[in-house]
Chains A and B, each alone.
Chain A
């Protein structure tokens, strides 16, 4: 009686969910980002983070970095589905390379006075966050690092008067001399 709602994923319930970072090189043409995002929403895949920017402007190549979650079979599907899109040159699973460096940047706004301000500055220093704006009752910190570090920083700031956070999402690159 307790059958799943679709015959497709019966097997998958038992498989572990993994997080993967994918780098996708695409032809930078109108609609390409819509195609990528449409693929994820249309097929029910998750996007944890997505960043995009042109990286080689003579060749009109953009690099999209996507952090996604799914079972190994779904992750494999996502890569194939991306790869078969016409404007996609290459898809690299950064997580599988084992040598991926991942960074994001966050700007964190805090409001407060007295002890909280002092504590916030002290923590910021420990996290190598920079003050990029200050008033007598607020700070904006800039912090870069991997997502876990940023999450941790934001958690610590919360009781100290956190107002808002703006994050860039993850960019990733592989260590060593080779490009993708």
Chain B
């Protein structure tokens, strides 16, 4: 000890980890202790720069960190122990990889001399997490630790963001070595994400945009990930060109839902006007989205007559599912900035009045309409009311996965980016509640609501206890239809209405459960009670479990059946038994 006291950079591996967190500006981490991370927990105990949020299950830590990251733009940090701690993190890592969320996950590992011996709580963490991280490291030498930690932060948050894992054996945490602050040379020479778009390609894109007669802008989560400037530039581009714009689930809020050029979300449960515009357009500008199968439907019938421009930071997103004409590899904000500059200097906004008239006809089909009901609460109505009653507030929304998620996307209008956290790519039930915990940690004075389903919410319900412990007033707004509604809908449409294991039997009494957790339970069963109950939920400065009893068998429309084209959408008004049967014939094998 005596000689290490001279050099402030001599410290244990555990101390380096905490020091690196501080050097990267980390204020909060989410974690769960165990034998293989005890030295790190000991260091955490002896400082106050980094606040540790103790979850109830490591999956909760992962999703909380995702919510934290998505709502702040900063990487979320997780600390878990070896073996089961690490395996419990697999779902959030896979989720973050799919949705490009920056996470830095530090896992404890058994001491290096025991690796490979089937030691207690040993698992091959780097092996298990290799396919669900952007990169991962096993650190065998304490003198490599600082470099790896700095590189981990850089890799997670640069380029296309994503989750990383740093696996640190316990003996490395105890060992003393030399720390250094972050520096450029910490990063692999082979890792060079490209930010600036090719000028020639940008010119080609501008020429296409300027000659368009039936253009559409299709934006995605990449715009949100790129930061506020990208959203600002996207809005400016829409303003300058006058083009209609739609977005993926992940991209909601980048362009405001109240904007006059907004077509609504596209894809499987997107609006009719958005999907028809995609199908019939002559020029498509895709910004930070990846032509996922929920978006394209049947790929060989996807927007058959358009020239496609694709802006993406990840070259592997280009031409993966859909061939594009003008790929531009780069960061959304960077490329949009250059594109706008060229457009303003060299192009004229094309006259697309006839196209807008066509769009107006599609809009008039009113694809999000639903039959009002004064006896039972319809889920769509519940979201509409929730939206109305929270308008103008500083609100963040998370969701679980299922029908409620799609209704939230359809009926809750997002005006700003970073306000909407949902599991898009992986579709992870149980994401929303812990994500809300993470969002609330980052934004203690905001209104944070998890729009939940009765089945999903039970997957990570234990994190209510975390919310209580840290006095995080999250609101869990459960659209309780007593079914795994989305699966039930598919069973109805594709499997002869044989509702195999999708009834939520033996549901807990959510109000009593709230009581048991020590939070507030609220129930609404009638449309007339809804506004008052929502107001009560908003007003109380404590966590709330809101049991919103909604119609059990409502289906989520409009819908493009899997494997169908955008112009083969099923609208709610037309979804009678016969039309539904015809629309879904033969699609059973698809997901």
Identity of the chain A residue whose Cβ is nearest the Cβ of B297 in the assembled complex: A7
Whether A10 touches B188, Cβ cut-off 8 Å, given contacts A3-B563, A38-B130, is no
Identify the stretch in A78-86, A101-109, A145-153, A163-171 within 8 Å (CB) of chain B at 4 or more residues.
A78-86
The answer to whether B314 touches A31, judged by C-beta atoms less than 8 angstroms apart, is no
Confirm or deny: A77 has a beta carbon within 8 angstroms of a beta carbon on chain B.
yes
The answer to whether A86 touches B590, judged by C-beta atoms less than 8 angstroms apart, is no
A residues in contact with B285, CB < 8 Å = none
Alpha-carbon separation in the docked complex, A94 to B314 (Å): 23
The answer to whether A76 touches B319, judged by C-beta atoms less than 8 angstroms apart, is yes
Q: How many residues of A contact B (CB 8 A)?
A: 29
Binary flags per residue of B300-321, CB closer than 8 Å to A gives 1, else 0: 1000000000000011101111
Partner of B315, one of A3, A27, A84: A84
Confirm or deny: B126 has a beta carbon within 8 angstroms of a beta carbon on chain A.
yes
Confirm or deny: B508 has a beta carbon within 8 angstroms of a beta carbon on chain A.
no
Confirm or deny: A126 has a beta carbon within 8 angstroms of a beta carbon on chain B.
no
For the residues of B in contact with A, the DSSP-based class is: loop
Whether A87 touches B188, Cβ cut-off 8 Å, given contacts A73-B319, A77-B316, is yes
CB distance from B359 to the nearest CB of A (A): 26
Whether A80 touches B563, Cβ cut-off 8 Å, given contacts A1-B586, A7-B299, A35-B130, is no
The answer to whether B190 touches A7, judged by C-beta atoms less than 8 angstroms apart, is no
Identify the stretch in B131-139, B274-282, B392-400, B570-578 within 8 Å (CB) of chain A at 4 or more residues.
B131-139
Alpha-carbon separation in the docked complex, A84 to B299 (Å): 25
B residues in contact with A80, CB < 8 Å = 314-316, 318, 320
B residues in contact with A1, CB < 8 Å = 585-586
Alpha-carbon separation in the docked complex, A10 to B302 (Å): 11
Binary flags per residue of A1-13, CB closer than 8 Å to B gives 1, else 0: 1011111101100
Alpha-carbon separation in the docked complex, A20 to B590 (Å): 31
A residues in contact with B190, CB < 8 Å = 26-27, 86-89
Confirm or deny: A42 has a beta carbon within 8 angstroms of a beta carbon on chain B.
yes
The answer to whether A7 touches B316, judged by C-beta atoms less than 8 angstroms apart, is no
Alpha-carbon separation in the docked complex, A34 to B127 (Å): 8
Confirm or deny: A44 has a beta carbon within 8 angstroms of a beta carbon on chain B.
no
Alpha-carbon separation in the docked complex, A5 to B191 (Å): 36
Whether A81 touches B130, Cβ cut-off 8 Å, given contacts A7-B297, A86-B191, A87-B190, is no
Confirm or deny: A30 has a beta carbon within 8 angstroms of a beta carbon on chain B.
yes
CB distance from A98 to the nearest CB of B (A): 22
Alpha-carbon separation in the docked complex, A109 to B319 (Å): 46
The answer to whether B590 touches A6, judged by C-beta atoms less than 8 angstroms apart, is yes
Identity of the chain A residue whose Cβ is nearest the Cβ of B313 in the assembled complex: A84
B residues in contact with A5, CB < 8 Å = 589-590
Alpha-carbon separation in the docked complex, A63 to B203 (Å): 37
B residues in contact with A87, CB < 8 Å = 188, 190
Confirm or deny: B531 has a beta carbon within 8 angstroms of a beta carbon on chain A.
no
Alpha-carbon separation in the docked complex, A81 to B587 (Å): 30
The answer to whether A3 touches B586, judged by C-beta atoms less than 8 angstroms apart, is yes
A residues in contact with B298, CB < 8 Å = 7, 10
The answer to whether B587 touches A3, judged by C-beta atoms less than 8 angstroms apart, is yes
> Which of the listed residues A7, A10, A34 has the most CB atoms from chain B within 10 Å of its own CB?
A7
A residues in contact with B586, CB < 8 Å = 1, 3
CB distance from A53 to the nearest CB of B (A): 18
Alpha-carbon separation in the docked complex, A31 to B133 (Å): 14
Alpha-carbon separation in the docked complex, A10 to B321 (Å): 10
Alpha-carbon separation in the docked complex, A6 to B562 (Å): 9
Confirm or deny: B349 has a beta carbon within 8 angstroms of a beta carbon on chain A.
no
Confirm or deny: B296 has a beta carbon within 8 angstroms of a beta carbon on chain A.
yes
- Chain A residues numbered 53-97 whose CB sits less than 8 Å from any CB in chain B: 73, 76-77, 80-81, 83-89
Whether A84 touches B130, Cβ cut-off 8 Å, given contacts A10-B299, A77-B320, is no
Alpha-carbon separation in the docked complex, A163 to B102 (Å): 54
- Chain B residues numbered 137-156 whose CB sits less than 8 Å from any CB in chain A: 138, 155
Whether A8 touches B293, Cβ cut-off 8 Å, given contacts A76-B319, A86-B155, A87-B188, is yes
The answer to whether A84 touches B155, judged by C-beta atoms less than 8 angstroms apart, is no
Identity of the chain A residue whose Cβ is nearest the Cβ of B585 in the assembled complex: A1
CB distance from B25 to the nearest CB of A (A): 23
> Which of the listed residues A1, A73, A84 has the most CB atoms from chain B within 10 Å of its own CB?
A84
Alpha-carbon separation in the docked complex, A30 to B115 (Å): 14
CB distance from A97 to the nearest CB of B (A): 19
A residues in contact with B138, CB < 8 Å = 30-31
A residues in contact with B127, CB < 8 Å = 34
B residues in contact with A84, CB < 8 Å = 160, 314-316
- Chain A residues numbered 23-46 whose CB sits less than 8 Å from any CB in chain B: 26-27, 30-31, 34-35, 38, 42
Partner of B130, one of A34, A73, A89: A34
A residues in contact with B300, CB < 8 Å = 10-11
A residues in contact with B512, CB < 8 Å = none
A residues in contact with B189, CB < 8 Å = 27, 89
B residues in contact with A77, CB < 8 Å = 316, 319-320
The answer to whether B131 touches A86, judged by C-beta atoms less than 8 angstroms apart, is no
Identity of the chain B residue whose Cβ is nearest the Cβ of A80 in the assembled complex: B316
Alpha-carbon separation in the docked complex, A169 to B323 (Å): 33
Identity of the chain A residue whose Cβ is nearest the Cβ of B151 in the assembled complex: A86
Alpha-carbon separation in the docked complex, A77 to B188 (Å): 23
CB distance from A73 to the nearest CB of B (A): 6
CB distance from B58 to the nearest CB of A (A): 23
The answer to whether A81 touches B135, judged by C-beta atoms less than 8 angstroms apart, is no
The answer to whether B130 touches A31, judged by C-beta atoms less than 8 angstroms apart, is yes
Binary flags per residue of B255-298, CB closer than 8 Å to A gives 1, else 0: 00000000000000000000000000000000000000100111
The answer to whether B299 touches A31, judged by C-beta atoms less than 8 angstroms apart, is no
The answer to whether B126 touches A31, judged by C-beta atoms less than 8 angstroms apart, is yes
The answer to whether A81 touches B316, judged by C-beta atoms less than 8 angstroms apart, is yes
Identity of the chain A residue whose Cβ is nearest the Cβ of B591 in the assembled complex: A6
A residues in contact with B191, CB < 8 Å = 86
- Chain B residues numbered 13-56 whose CB sits less than 8 Å from any CB in chain A: none
What are 24 A-B residue pairs whose CB atoms fall within 8 Å in the complex?
A1-B585, A1-B586, A3-B586, A4-B589, A5-B589, A5-B590, A7-B297, A7-B590, A8-B299, A10-B299, A11-B299, A31-B130, A31-B138, A35-B130, A38-B131, A73-B323, A77-B319, A77-B320, A86-B155, A86-B188, A86-B191, A87-B188, A87-B190, A89-B190
In the A-B complex, the 5 residue pairs with the closest CB atoms: A80-B316, A86-B135, A89-B190, A11-B300, A80-B315
Given A1-B586, A83-B315, A89-B190, 4 more contacts at CB 8 Å? A3-B586, A6-B293, A6-B591, A84-B315
